Amino acid sequence: MEILKNYSLKQHNTFDINVTAKKFVAFSSIDELKELLSYAAQSKSKEFILGGGSNILFTKNVDGFVLKNEIKGIELIKEDRNHFYVKAGAGENWHQFVLHCIKHNYAGLENLSLIPGNVGASPMQNIGAYGAEIKDVFENLEALNKADKAVHTFSANDCAFGYRESIFKSKYKNQFVILNVTYRLNKIPAFNTSYGAIEQELEKMNAKELSIQAISQAVINIRSSKLPDPNKIGNAGSFFKNPTITLKLFQALQKKYSNMPHYTVDAIHVKIPAAWLIEQCNWKGYRNGDAGVHIHQPLVLVNYGNATGKEIYNLSEKILQSVIKKFGIELEREVNIV
């Protein structure tokens, strides 16, 4: 393992922020990881686990060890009447893994096609898109406890999955390194095309019959046309979560904003699209220097070239404050701030 010093992380985060890591090293096995953790502890360095860097905003140089997880491998570990159980190394690229499953007719991940990043981060925020979340097909994961170096197995229940949430973002934040994830995929697909645009896209594609391949392609087409490509313009997807508010607050706001979009969560809560709130505060297409809000997707903050993480963060703070002022709703950042 080669330890690189004062190493630029620009190629390792989709926001394209040019910060450095005091030390940077990639590991591809649990033994290498253990060795690096011991070394970091001896040199009293803090360590940060990096996947594909697609859900991170670096606001400063990392004064410690950046450990890039490159544990690979995809394996069909068992099957039963209805399911395939497929285990993937944390360092596998997520979309390539999804394509692998689709090729082998393992159903359940097709709606999650083309999400950037790696397998290891998929449980971190219970990635979701187009009416699906990984919790729906999650079997278990193995993670190394940084403190005692023991490997623990987590079931879906243990992970406490929620909307863009898991126990690894809350109670166990920075305590575990996810090594691999096993998904329980279906032998008989349960097609999920309820998310409006998928059906339209399938029609446009002239898909002769419904299949996981067709759904995956439809999702790829929609995402490619709607979302800014991080290879062309720095971003980390949705910057904020969609807030859940009380029905009471919603009804009060509705008197003033009768066209306010919303989705029912339960009898006393509704979810409001953060993109709508941000657009109402006139941020869509805003640009200051190289930090901006995407011209079509107000939920996506962008780096037009040389923005610093601080500049993007400060912009996010202004957006957050303006939404509080106008609607009394506090947005929560989805992106991990480092």
Ligand X SMILES: Cc1cc2nc3c(=O)[nH]c(=O)nc-3n(C[C@H](O)[C@H](O)[C@H](O)COP(=O)(O)OP(=O)(O)OC[C@H]3O[C@@H](n4cnc5c(N)ncnc54)[C@H](O)[C@@H]3O)c2cc1C
Least distance (Å) between residue 2 CB and ligand X: 20
CA dist., res. 200 & res. 222, Å (int): 10
Which of residues 176 and 283 has its CB atom nearest to ligand X in the complex?
176
Q: How far is the CB of 116 from ligand X (least distance, A)?
A: 4
Query: Is residue 121 within the footprint of ligand X (CB under 6 A)?
Result: yes
Catalytic residues: 164, 238, 334
Burial 315-332 (b: 16+ CB within 10 A, else e): bbeebbebbeeebebebe
Among 90, 212, 245, 315, binds ligand X (CB under 6 A): 90
Does residue 89 touch ligand X according to CB under 6 A? no
Task: Please name the residue that has the structure tokens 């690229």.
Answer: 93
- Nearer to ligand X by Cβ, of 186 and 336: the residue is 336
- The verdict on 125 binding ligand X (CB under 6 A) reads yes
* Binding mask of the shown chain, residues 46 to 75, with x at each position contacting ligand X by CB under 6 A: --xxxxxxxxx------------x------
Per CB under 6 A, 123 contacts ligand X: no
Helix locations, 160-308, DSSP H:
197-205, 212-226, 247-256, 274-280
- Of positions 117, 292, 298, 309, contacts ligand X by CB under 6 A: 117
Q: How far apart are the first and last CA of the chain?
A: 25
The DSSP code sequence of 106-160 is -BS-GGGTT--SBGGGTTTTT-EETTEEGGGTEEEEEEEETTT--EEEEEHHHHT
* 195 contacts 177 by C-beta, under 8 angstroms: no
Q: Which stretch binds ligand X (CB under 6 A): 188-196, 233-241, 266-274, 305-313?
A: 233-241
Residues that bind ligand X (CB under 6 A): 14, 48-56, 69, 90, 115-118, 120-122, 124-125, 127-129, 177-178, 227, 230, 235-237, 336
